[in-house]
Structure 1
Amino acid sequence: MSVVSSASLRSSVTARLRAAGCVFAEDEARILLAAAGSAVELAVMVSDRAAGRPLEHVVGWAEFAGLRIAVDPGVFVPRRRSEFLVRTAVALTAPALTGEDALVVDLCCGSGALGAALAASAGRPVTLHAADLDPAAVRCARRNLAAAGAEVYEGDLFEALPADLRGRVDVLLANVPYVPTADVELLPAEARLHEARPALDGGTDGLDVLRRVAADAPHWLAPGGTLLFETSDRQAATALDVVTAAGLTAALAFDDDLDATVVTATRPAAG
């Protein structure tokens, strides 16, 4: 249900959002009008958005890879650039080399957006597991991944996963935080003030969580299995060194349109 939208109401909401600094005020006004169930609810939503709350937290969802992903307050909002990470992972699940499902783990899953998009797009059936340290994110992920039949766990990286997954993971998505601690305060207020800091802060050089993932990944990946994660241009060379030192064969992939850099790090088939 949504409030009845008139041209004057749309114009009023758009003007309020534009005055608050929303760059895409007209599009956001359309979304808010469609989401609100009453005039009172609309007024609250517009006020929250004008005060700086992320649109996705206000309406309760984000559009990602053609899916509507539930996003509760405080939960990391999936970025459009991460669609490239999903596409790269889908390409790895497509070859049906055996009759078995591809075993996929979405680590640091947040809302579960990456796992949900991969499951929806993969060229073969997948068995999906996901984990996150943040209880709010885990609650979101369980809703978003229910249709994929995924198991979602709460805990710190690999500690959250069942031990029987060790050595069996075909695709390990790990969208780890990679913002250096000193740069967190430079992020837009929407992220800095409204998303859980552990989902953003990657430590001194932004790669602390990656180092932990890379150190354990070879023990969880199947022979020929691949770890995938995002990084920035300036961190890419060091990120490659981190996963190479862990015994993985690494490569970089880029998408200029999305300004996305993805590292793929594969366990040798004979290793």
Structure 2
Amino acid sequence: AASIFDHSCRGNVVVTYCQTTRTADGAQDLAPWILVARAAARVRAGEELCHTYVYPFETVGERQDRLGSAYGFQCECERCSVEAPLARQAKAAADDLDRAVAAFGEARKAGRPGAMVPVISNLHEALGRIATLSRRAAAAGAPDGAPDLWRAQFVWGYHGLAMALEHLGRFDEAAEAYRTCVELIVAAAPSSGYELKYRVMLVQCLARRALAGGAVKREELEDVLRKAEDAHGRCYGGGGRHFVTRLGRRLEEVYRALRTQSIRRAG
């Protein structure tokens, strides 16, 4: 079957589905799902509209394999062009990073905080090697923003690092790791549900830091919350009320932190 939008591993369209209601003979019923497409970034006149057919945060080799298996083609988008020259190195780096992330899961399950320290060190080392490779990609004449675009295939590693740091209560460092996640998502999948996810995780991390007695400016917390709400609007629409309804309990820590900050300021 033909697709409405072509594929790109760096899509300029975000596709969501919305189910509406219809009224017949005085009774409400669920209507069919409606496809909703929103521009993920500024679209130039005449530019082809594309979204991503596969999970966008695997290595370029894994994405190409999935596209070939499921859809019978290889992607030649700008992002793949940036990543392809170092595809072999990316696979090796992903294997190293996967082992480090798996070790985090084992340490967390064991419930031994001391075991988390070497895990964090190994994650930093693996991600440091990835950062070095990303600079090589940029030096090869890739377009502006190439380092972030190249590193986006490893966003899950920065996520693992952020969670490990949070586990030890190192909220300042965890927040920086979540900020990196946001930057990489914005480079590869702006206005997507993934951007919303990591912006909300950053808000929650800052809220936990505040609730633990750490120094967090109320303005900073409000700013990252506004940016999360904006990401929700670009992906799903519906305004602030829809944002609060969708996230529900995930915002409770944030509200408590804001109240705490107000009390501290008043005191």
Give the TM-score, by structure 2 length.
0.26
Give the TM-score, by structure 1 length.
0.26
Bigger Rg, structure 1 or 2: 2
